[in-house]
Amino acid sequence: MTNDTPYLFYQSRNPRPFLDHGEGIYLFDESGKRYIDGSSGAMVSNIGHSNPRVLAKMKAQMDKATFGYRLHFRTHPSEDLAAKTVAMCPKGLDRVFFVSGGSEAVESAVKLARQYALATGQGGRYKVISRFPSYHGCTFGALDLTGYEPLRAPFAPMMEGMPKITAPTTYLDRDNLTEDERGIRYAELLRERIEEAGPDTVLAFLMEPVGGASTGALVAPDSYYQRTREICDEYGVLLIYDEVMTGAGRTGTFLAAEHWGITPDIVALSKGFGAGYAPLGAIVASSRLVEPVLDAGGFQHGFTYAGNPLACAAGLAVLEELEDQNIIENAALMGALLKRRLEDLMAHFPFIGDVRGKGLLLAFELVADRGTMRPLAKELNAYTRLVEIAYDLGLIIYSRRTRGGLEGDHFLICPPLIITEPQI
């Protein structure tokens, strides 16, 4: 183990070993120890490490040009990646704008929504409703939309405080409703919040279709997805899906939205989209939104590195691999298997309170009492201790302590989508 360098600092003191190399679902440190990358880093390495096709395509692009500013040149990698992204997204999502990460994608989605409103005579709309808990990024705009108190607290006085509704944490509910009825009940919170905020001031509703780091792979009842879409349509509120974690095949379809046949107005992508080969993200939207903005003078927004040819060459090769190697189908199959195996563990370990997720975005939650879902005492630090035990054994998992209004320890199990049955 190495300690901090005197120069570089991380979020906290970092006693981790130096990484040497990656191969498929594995990472190796400098001592030669092998780790199963059971969380794909931070749910990033969807096609695994050191994919030869992606590396070859990146090297070929490096030999030509690694950077060309997008306002000076068009590039084939960026235009080809945009075309491929549109081809893999549901119909109606037909325009792409590149960024370099998830927070940038979320902020770009919100800014496109706002400029669409301005361009179409709806300048009074500016509020973006999001959920608690949720995670949408750490830059100020994205953080204001994030429902995760430990990250928000230091900056609370510096943010607007956009409206939130409770995320559908139905696994904690002990009522007599059916799942469908619960889904509707949580979705109707959106209507209430729109009415309260003033319908003419509400620009968009932002949600992770399957919750990520903040909720531990929270999946809503089917009715929730349909009803929230209907409510947005009814009030002229744009529906933004943050698919930064769920996109690029993670849940067993290219976008998680496909599971429910929903077409959001704007989708944010990153993480698995560049799959760890390059910092890359995108928003995908309908021409219906983009054209009025371009007609009104253009999208007043953009990041220097966005759409650079090297990152786009990597992203294009990632999408080609997803398709040619049937990796998304594998995520669905292996996800179902892994979920069953985790559910089997519940029979042996009464302190596993819940197993949830979709595809290979899976999680389990530890509780003191499964009947009441009472969480473990905070002082136990279960969420860090279990991660450390697994790490020592050569398995990387990802944890957080939080859930809707209560405290809970959940663990994300999200290996690369290329994982095989014996590896599971």
Task: Say how far apart CA 241 and CA 18 lie, in whole Å.
Answer: 36
Map residues 192-211 to x or -, x wherever contact with ligand PLP holds by CB under 6 A.
Answer: ----------------x---
Q: Does residue 135 touch ligand PLP according to CB under 6 A?
A: yes
Q: Which is nearer to ligand PLP, 367 or 398 (CB)?
A: 398
> Residues binding ligand PLP: what is the number (CB under 6 A)?
15
Q: How far apart are the first and last CA of the chain?
A: 28
Where does this chain touch ligand PLP (CB under 6 A) — which range of 133-141, 225-233, 253-261, 329-337?
133-141
Where does this chain touch ligand PLP (CB under 6 A) — which range of 130-138, 196-204, 224-232, 330-338?
130-138
CB of 69 to ligand PLP, least distance (A): 22
Q: Which is nearer to ligand PLP, 119 or 280 (CB)?
A: 280
Task: Say how far apart CA 368 and CA 376 lie, in whole Å.
Answer: 5
Pairing of strands 26-29, 34-36: antiparallel
Q: Which is nearer to ligand PLP, 48 or 133 (CB)?
A: 133
Q: Which is nearer to ligand PLP, 148 or 171 (CB)?
A: 148
CB of 408 to ligand PLP, least distance (A): 18
Closest residue to ligand PLP, Cβ-based?
102
Q: Which is nearer to ligand PLP, 146 or 185 (CB)?
A: 146
Q: Which is nearer to ligand PLP, 138 or 184 (CB)?
A: 138
Q: Which is nearer to ligand PLP, 363 or 367 (CB)?
A: 363
Half-sphere exposure of 99 (CA within 13 A, CB side): 23
Pairing of strands 281-285, 266-269: antiparallel
Helix (H, G, I), strand (E, B) or coil at 13: coil
Map residues 25-44 to x or -, x wherever contact with ligand PLP holds by CB under 6 A.
Answer: -----------------x--
Contact with ligand PLP (CB under 6 A): which of 57, 111, 125, 136?
A: 136
CB of 106 to ligand PLP, least distance (A): 5
Task: Say how far apart CA 220 and CA 275 lie, in whole Å.
Answer: 26
Contact with ligand PLP (CB under 6 A): which of 78, 103, 170, 253?
A: 103
Helix (H, G, I), strand (E, B) or coil at 83: helix
**CA nearest to 250, candidates 268, 267, 273:** 273
Tokens of 346: 């519940």
Map residues 44-83 to x or -, x wherever contact with ligand PLP holds by CB under 6 A.
Answer: ----------------------------------------
Q: Footprint of ligand PLP on residues 212-271 (CB under 6 A)? A: 212-213, 242, 244-245, 270
Helix (H, G, I), strand (E, B) or coil at 144: helix
List residues bridging with 29 in a β-sheet.
19
Alpha helices per DSSP H over 29-148: 40-43, 52-64, 76-88, 102-119, 140-144
Tell me which residue has tokens 């009940």.
185
Task: Say how far apart CA 36 and CA 13 lie, in whole Å.
Answer: 23
**CA nearest to 128, candidates 263, 242, 291:** 242
Q: Which is nearer to ligand PLP, 103 or 330 (CB)?
A: 103
Q: Footprint of ligand PLP on residues 325-384 (CB under 6 A)? A: none
Tell me which residue has tokens 């949580």.
186
Where does this chain touch ligand PLP (CB under 6 A) — which range of 24-32, 102-110, 192-200, 232-240?
102-110
Neighbours of 287 (CB within 10 A): 12
Half-sphere exposure of 251 (CA within 13 A, CB side): 25
List residues bridging with 129 in a β-sheet.
205
CB of 113 to ligand PLP, least distance (A): 16
Contact with ligand PLP (CB under 6 A): which of 77, 137, 216, 359?
A: 137
Where does this chain touch ligand PLP (CB under 6 A) — which range of 98-106, 227-235, 250-258, 316-324?
98-106
Task: Say how far apart CA 331 and CA 353 lie, in whole Å.
Answer: 24
Q: What share of the chain is helix, strand, coil (3-state, %, to 5)?
A: 40, 20, 40
CB of 136 to ligand PLP, least distance (A): 5
Q: Which is nearer to ligand PLP, 24 or 209 (CB)?
A: 209
Q: Which residues bind to ligand PLP, rule: CB under 6 A?
A: 42, 101-103, 106, 135-137, 208, 212-213, 242, 244-245, 270
